[in-house]
Copies of this chain bind each other. A is one copy, B any other.
Amino acid sequence: MDGARPLSDADDAFAAALAARLPDGRVSRPEPGHLEEPRGRWQGRGGVLVRPATAEEVAEVVRACGEARVPVVPYGGGTGLVGGQIAGEGALPVILSLDRMRAIREVDPRENVLIAEAGAILADIQTAAREANRLFPLSLASEGTARIGGLLATNAGGINTLRYGNARALCLGLEAVMPDGRIWHGLTRLRKDNTGYDLRDLLIGAEGTLGVITAAALTLHPRPAGEGTALLAVRDPEAALDLLAMARDRMAEGISAFELMHRQGFGFLSEKLPETRQPWPDPPEWSVLIEVGLARGLDPAQALEGLFAEAHEAGLVTDGIVAQSEAQRAEFWAVRERIPEANRLIGAVSSHDISVPLSAIPEFVRRAGPALAGIGDFRVNCFGHLGDGNLHYNVFPAPGRSRADHEHQRDAIKGCVHDLVHALGGSVAAEHGVGRLKVPDLERYGDPAKLAAMRAIKAALDPMGIMNPGAVLRAD
C-alpha cells in the first residue's frame, strides 16, 4: 500500500460531498443491521451508507473515496460468517450496499445464461432459472438473504458443489468497478475466452479487496429429469468415502449432494428444535444424506435402492431410508438444514470451516477428537459436504457449561484443529472465505510465495488500500 498517508474517516463532511455527486437519496447513515454480522464477533462503528443504483454510481462512489482516501466496504446480504462485511477498526468506511441493484436483467434458457445485478438475492435467481426450466445450482442455508455479488466475492460453496462446482464455476463474466473507479465491462457470456489474464477469477474470492462486483453473467444447467434422496447409516467416514466412490461408479455426475452428519447434530436438534421431525428412531453415529438428479429414462428411487443394496452387501451401509415422496425428501433436507440453526442455539466455542483431501477425512476425524480432549471436555458436531472434503467441525461446551466458560480456550482449540488440517494438506478457509477472522491463519498457514504474490497484486490494483481494508490481507 501507499502507506505513508493513512486513510480518512467517512465523516459528515465526506457524506455531504458524496451526496452532492450522486442522485438524491443514495447517501444515509448505516442501519444497525449494517454494523452487525451473524456470529457477533465484529461490530461496525458507523461511517456512511451508500446505496447506488447503477454501476456508474458505484464508480462515482469509488472515485470519491479514492480522492479522499476513505475506505470502501462492499455490502451484500450481510450473511458472511468471517467478518468480511464489517470494518471493526481503522478509518470509518463507506458501506457500499448493492441492495438497490437487484435486477435480473436477462434469462436465456437456450444459451443457459442468466445476467444478474450484484444485489440480486440468490433465491430470486434460483426462481428465475426454474421459471425458464433451468437450474441455477448454487444453494446454501442463507439463500433467502445472500446476494450474488457477495456470493461471488466470497466464492461461496454450499451443497451442490460436488456436482456443479462453487460460485466461481458458475460465473461466465463480471461487471465490476476497479479500485481506481473504472468500470470493467466483462459481462461476457462466452464459454471459451482466452483474452488475457483471468481477472474474473481474481475478483471472485477477493472479498471486495480488489474491486466491487456490480453484475454477473451466470451459468444455468439443465434441470435433472428426476430427483431422489436417501439417508444412509454408514459404518464410519471411511465407509462414507467408499460409498461415494460406489455411487459415482453407478451414477457418475448424477450425484448432486453427499452430506455427512454425525449423531451429535441429531442430538442438538432434539435439544433445541424438538419440533423437527427426525428420520432415525435411534440415530447412528454417522449418516450420509445423498441426493441424485438423473436424466430421462432413469428412476432415482430405484437407483438409490440399487446403491443401498450393493453398499449394504459390501458392509458399508448398515441401514437406510430412500425417500418415497417429495414430502419425505423435504423432511430429510430440513434435518440437514436445521443443524446450523441448532448449533447456533447451543452456542459453539469455536467453529471451523475446513477442507482436507478426501482420502484424509477419516484420519482427520480420528485424530481431531483426541487432540481436542487434551484441551478440555467438549461436544463436537462434525457435519458437512463430504463429497467436497469440506467439513464443518464445530466445538461446543459439555452439557451444563456455556461458551463463556471456554472463552480462554478458543485460540487453543482453533490452533489444534487448524494445525491438524494444515498437516493433512487441507484448507482452514474452505467455503466461507478469509474475511477478517482468518487473516492470522492465512499468515500462519499460507504459502509464502502465494502471500507475496497476493500482496503485490493488492498493492498494484489498490495502491491506496481503500478497498475493504483489513479483509483477506492485513491493512498497513
Q: Chain A residues in contact with chain B, CB under 8 A? A: 108-113, 133, 154-155, 157, 161-162, 165-166, 168-169, 178, 180, 182-186, 188-199, 201-202, 204-206, 210, 221-222, 224-225, 241-242, 245, 248-254, 294-298, 303, 355-359, 385, 387-390, 425-434, 438, 442, 445-454, 456-461, 472-473
Contacts and interface: CB of A to CB of B under 8 A. Distances in A.
Given A190-B356, A193-B429, A355-B192, A178 B389 contact: no
A433 B198 CA distance: 12
How many copies of this chain does the complex contain? 2
Contacts of A303: 297
Contact of A110 (B112, B197, B245, B298): B245
Given A222-B249, A357-B111, A196 B161 contact: no
A460 B457 CA distance: 6
A263 to B, nearest CB: 24
Nearest to A163: B253
Nearest to A428: B195
A385 to B, nearest CB: 7
The 8 closest A-B pairs by CB, nearest first: A460-B460, A201-B201, A193-B427, A182-B449, A184-B449, A191-B388, A456-B460, A222-B252
Contacts of A168: 198, 201
Contacts of A425: 188-190
Indicate the member of A185, A192, A199, A294 with the most B CB atoms within 10 Å: A192
Contact of A459 (B112, B204, B359, B460): B460
A190 B254 contact: no
12 contacts: A155-B198, A178-B452, A183-B449, A192-B431, A193-B427, A195-B427, A195-B428, A196-B442, A198-B202, A250-B295, A253-B295, A295-B298
A296 B250 contact: yes
A169 B169 contact: yes
Given A169-B169, A358-B111, A448-B182, A197 B205 contact: yes
A152 to B, nearest CB: 12
Contacts of A430: 190, 192-194
Given A188-B427, A196-B473, A253-B253, 15 more contacts: A190-B430, A191-B389, A194-B434, A196-B434, A196-B446, A197-B210, A197-B454, A197-B472, A198-B202, A199-B450, A199-B453, A201-B201, A251-B296, A295-B298, A456-B460
A134 to B, nearest CB: 10
Nearest to A211: B453
A430 B110 CA distance: 20
A202 B205 contact: no
A283 to B, nearest CB: 26
A421 B198 CA distance: 20
